[in-house]
Structure 1
Amino acid sequence: MPTTIFDQFTRRTANVTAQLTALGIPRTAPARPPADPTDPWASNYAAPVDRSTLAWCTAVQMLADHHHTGIDRQVLAADALLRELGVRGLAQLHTDLHHGAPIDYRFTPCPYCSGIGEDPTQPTCGEFGCAPWLEFAGHDHVCPVCQGDGYQPQWFTEEHMTELEKLLADAVEEREERASLRYRIRTRLHRRAVRT
């Protein structure tokens, strides 16, 4: 039976929720107690977190893979991330896990949408019946993590290499110009030294 890329999202969610069930962890995060109004640092994020969503499953899986632990040790971290930053927090988490380096999703597959550039929880443009020209015009269905950057290293690498070759050629040309200038200055200084 052929599988589509969208099957991996349901498999990811099913695997994580099965692990939660086996560990006896509820699928909905418990409500937080109300924040102390006198504490200026108290968090007032009281949004419930559904632990069976694709975003939560992706966050807990990323944390567990990075720290080489089971998902039971990362449940509270994933809760906090989605409670405070939402799905967009996955991009921040991905950057943080790479020591703050910016992630170029043209060369690195997005952990949420796996490089398709669309939000996997939303219906596709075909299901919505969107006009084909809307696909490239800041569409509503873009992935909130990678912002629609398609994972196509084979396409962008050629373009990137062409850019780098041009920069290298410019640098070599500039070096040759500087070398000839240094030669002319040295020759003139040598002539002056010989005359005196």
Structure 2
Amino acid sequence: MTRLFTEFPKRIADITTQLTTQGIPLTAPLTPAAPPDPDDPWGSKHPAPPVDRTTLAWYTAVQMLADHHHTAIERQILAADTLLRELGVRGLAQLHSDLHHGAPIDYRFTRCPYCGGLGEDPTLPDCREVGCPPQYEFADHPHICPVCEGADYQPEWFAKKRVTERDRWLATSLGNRPGRTSWYRRMSQRFRKRR
């Protein structure tokens, strides 16, 4: 696990060197506030905050977008900036879902793009940054990942558990409804013939 935590700074360093060699600033500039629109009373009148492009969250967002669209990282810079400006780190979960056509992501089976399946916040924040209660400040406790919310990535264990539950449900449904047993058998035979 220590190896994974040392891997994150290396990833950030790789992206940082790519940005600096191409002359792209490491901090997204402040975008000016839009002029007030009388037709849009809910429009923002404040400038958008700058985005630090040397964070793991920004790196994760730009890498996910570049991998999904099969483009270079520099083509996805503005999209990653916008995502972190509007939604923050928790927006990575929304981005991950959007890239899968809006399907919900089960992080027990899919590796979290931010923490890599650890379930802990990979930036290792202290209790003051996270806002833990004072009684936890001296206890050695992990802070859960803000994207997968501490999901325990164990696809082998959860898959076996899910298959066992499905078999149990199927057995009880077949046992309680003897008239439908033949229908289930006919359907399973049809599916087997198609293979």
TM-score above 0.5, yes or no: yes
Is the alpha carbon distance of 1:179 and 1:151 closer, same or farther for their aligned partners in structure 2, counting shifts above 3 Å?
Answer: closer
Is the alpha carbon distance of 1:29 and 1:179 closer, same or farther for their aligned partners in structure 2, counting shifts above 3 Å?
Answer: closer
Indicate if the aligned counterparts of 1:118 and 1:124 stay in contact, CA closer than 8 A: no
Please, which runs of 5 or more residues in structure 1 have no aligned partner? 136-140, 181-196
Aligned pairs for 1:1-196 (under 5 A) are 4-38=3-37, 40=40, 42-43=43-44, 44=46, 46-123=48-125, 130=139, 141-178=143-180
Structure 1 moving runs of 4+ over 4 Å: 41-45, 177-180
Taking only aligned residues, the RMSD between alpha carbons, in angstroms, comes to: 2.4
Paired with 2:124 and 2:18, the residues of 1 have a C-alpha distance of: 25
The structural deviation recorded for 1:148 is 0.4
The structural deviation recorded for 1:176 is 1.6
For these two proteins, the number of residue pairs brought into alignment is 170
Taking structure 1 as the reference length, the TM-score comes to 0.78
Is the alpha carbon distance of 1:175 and 1:75 closer, same or farther for their aligned partners in structure 2, counting shifts above 3 Å?
Answer: same
Please, which runs of 5 or more residues in structure 2 have no aligned partner? 128-136, 183-195
Paired with 1:92 and 1:3, the residues of 2 have a C-alpha distance of: 28
Comparing 42-51 and 13-22, the one that deviates more: 42-51
Taking structure 2 as the reference length, the TM-score comes to 0.79
Once the two structures are superposed, what CA deviation does each residue of 1:65-114 show, in whole Å capped at 9, x if it has no partner?
Answer: 00000011000000000000000000000000001110000010100000
Identity of aligned residues (%): 62
Counterpart of 2:3 in structure 1: which amino acid?
Answer: T
Paired with 1:123 and 1:46, the residues of 2 have a C-alpha distance of: 25
Counterpart of 1:152 in structure 2: which amino acid?
Answer: Q
Paired with 1:179 and 1:19, the residues of 2 have a C-alpha distance of: 61
Is the alpha carbon distance of 1:108 and 1:52 closer, same or farther for their aligned partners in structure 2, counting shifts above 3 Å?
Answer: same
